Structure 1
Amino acid sequence: MSKPVSLQAHYDQRLKNRWRKAPFVLRFTEWKDITGTVVVIKERVSSETRAEERNLQQLGNLQDRGHLYGESLKCLIPLLKRMVEGVCDEAGVPMELQRFFNKEGLKLRDNLPLDEEAGAKLALLFRLQERLHNPDRIELLARRIMRFSREEAAYWLARTTSYGADANRWAISGLRIMLTGTSNKDDGIQRMLDKLR
């Protein structure tokens, strides 16, 4: 029986440069004013210039779509693993990104490639959880987003990123209410969690 490959070796052998062309990138990093790992999601947005004419390697610029850290990150680790476990390479081989969501993986400072489905779902989750502080509402948000199809996640992400600052803010607020209710004291949160778990 072969010994499992270390996370850093797995990254170096299978993932290292894949993020450069991936539609979404998950970055494990540190910020000076935050203790611990910060997980940042970025979306590759096509540039207005004609990249194919200039024969560029990259397919656009990376735009921040949200971040996660602290208690929110800690309570979402099991669900984040499930959201990324289906990400495969071009040959359909799983990339095993869920291996990075543990104590060892969160210490690495790497960029992980994401496909459109996992990327859109994570970007939407990271955007919507920012003002939530109740762990049950954050979990409910993640579980409901996990049930979205790729198309639904992409649509709702576009509604929160593409229509100007005011419309984006309203879309985030409305979608957050639609998925998690308006109050931490709502009994419906626990009832919905019980159904989804």
Structure 2
Amino acid sequence: MAKKKEPFDLAKHLAERLAKQSAKAPFLLRITQWQGAPVPVLVVKERQYRDPDEGAPGPDGQRRRARPVLIERGNLCGEPLHRCLPLLRRIVEGVTDPAGVPLELARYLTAEGMRIRGNLPLDEEAGAKLALIFRLQDRIKDLDRVELIAYRVRQFTREEAAYWLSRTTSFGPIANRWALSGLRTMLGGHTDDKGVAEMLERLRLAA
């Protein structure tokens, strides 16, 4: 008789395999909950290296090593989360460890997986794409536009995702706000635009 396969232990996998990758990953996807917000809340954080002393030398005269800082790039919860969830799973499916072995992150973007609280390691491509989706959907009430934006961001290359994320995070509050506004229109059209439903249907059929 074949040995019965043991069920996948999400908590064990998170603690034993993903935690080690999370310590160095360029982005993290945090599954959490916030007071007053629908449960769960997904938060994307980017790891950057900053010198708090602006490059001032240490006591030995050597420049101090920059320390890692996690910067929140966006969050997603409620109806926009549930509408985008299948696309988010597709985006994280390609994340692997340094040896190229898949980390099986999509298991955590399910009803069962999102009961777990913790950090999932993301590579640059998945992290930038999720950060863009989370930032762009903010303040959009039309869920068709939110889903359309998610589809189109998913089609970006790694370089495109990194470029557009930098345009919305690295040029000061005003320029960042303008970049987000322009990208929302470029990727998701305008409210009440009949082309939104048409383009969304084409992308759903092609997926």
Q: Under a length normalisation based on structure 1, what TM-score does the superposition of the two structures give? A: 0.92
In the alignment, what sits opposite 2:181?
173
SS of residue paired to 1:172: helix
In the alignment, what sits opposite 1:138?
146
The separation in 2 between residues aligned to 1:60 and 1:115, in whole angstroms, is: 16
1:53-102, Cα deviation, whole Å (9 max, x unpaired): 7678xx62110000000111111111110010000000000000000011
How big is the shift at 1:4?
A: 3.1
Alignment partner of 1:161 out of 169, 175, 199: 169
Q: Under a length normalisation based on structure 2, what TM-score does the superposition of the two structures give? A: 0.88
Alignment partner of 1:18 out of 21, 34, 38: 21
In the alignment, what sits opposite 1:30?
33
In the alignment, what sits opposite 1:129?
137
The separation in 2 between residues aligned to 1:190 and 1:182, in whole angstroms, is: 11
Alignment partner of 1:194 out of 188, 201, 205: 201
Name the one with the larger helix percent.
1
The separation in 2 between residues aligned to 1:27 and 1:133, in whole angstroms, is: 24
Larger Rg: 2
Q: What 5-or-longer segments of structure 1 have no aligned partner? A: none
The separation in 1 between residues aligned to 2:7 and 2:137, in whole angstroms, is: 34
- More deviation in 158-167 or 14-23? 14-23
How big is the shift at 1:9?
A: 1.6
- More deviation in 93-102 or 130-139? 130-139
The separation in 2 between residues aligned to 1:17 and 1:53, in whole angstroms, is: 28
Q: Which of structure 1's runs of 4+ aligned residues deviate more than 3 A?
A: 52-56
The separation in 2 between residues aligned to 1:35 and 1:70, in whole angstroms, is: 5
Give the length in aligned residue pairs. 193
How big is the shift at 1:186?
A: 1.2
Aligned-CA RMSD value: 1.7
The separation in 2 between residues aligned to 1:2 and 1:193, in whole angstroms, is: 39
Identity of aligned residues (%): 53
The separation in 2 between residues aligned to 1:35 and 1:132, in whole angstroms, is: 17
2:51–2:65 contact (8 Å) kept in structure 1: no
1:28-55, Cα deviation, whole Å (9 max, x unpaired): 11111213111000001121367x9767
Q: What 5-or-longer segments of structure 2 have no aligned partner? A: 56-61
2:51–2:64 contact (8 Å) kept in structure 1: no
Alignment partner of 1:6 out of 9, 20, 30: 9
